[in-house]
Structure 1
Amino acid sequence: MNARVREDEVHIASFVVQHREDAGAALAAMVAACPDLELAIPGPTRSVVLCESAQRHAAMDRVDQLQAVAGVLNVLLVYHHAEPAAALDEPCPQAPDTGVPA
């Protein structure tokens, strides 16, 4: 795969971060400092962090950074998806009508 194709990809990942109760502020500050991260669900001892990046290795780099936050006990990569950036602008295909109400 050439570099041009990689630049045109979008990588979306989610993490569950297990942390001590007193680590929430430090985790939120670290996430706020990274433009490709979002603290989707903050919790007292577990939080969900999302990552959206054009960089193929960003998700694993972010795991390392999240683990380095004081009070973080574990970071679990729950989901990782990559696709061409142009595909995000395309409409979603319609499901066939089966006649069964949703």
Structure 2
Amino acid sequence: MYHAHTPADWAQMLCFATSGYAALSVPYFLTVDADLTDFDPRPGLARLVESGRVDALLVAVANAKHSARTAAARARHIPRDAAISLAALLLLLSAPGPEATR
């Protein structure tokens, strides 16, 4: 009537209990004796930037920002340039023929 447990069942239960205990204790171990400054990423980021390991990334971001601003400035001038081109085309098309200049 009773089911005999195999070593695999025991190992499965041991792994399940260990992982459950670990998952439930993570918030406790993160917040016990913790100050708000422990969760502030700015000092670590400052050390990372000062080390020089992200200089290429910072240059790439600055270049992308400059390119985006240049593209936006060009896009703002598109309607004006199109209007000037259309006005010039209309002036060329509406010019009187050679017989009107006599």
| TM-score interval, normalised by the smaller of the two chains | under 0.3
Structure (1 or 2) with the greater helix fraction:
2
Structure number with greater Rg is 2
TM-score normalised by the chain length of structure 2: 0.18
Structure (1 or 2) with the greater strand fraction:
1
TM-score normalised by the chain length of structure 1: 0.18
Q: Which has the higher contact order (CA 8 A, sep 6+)?
A: 1
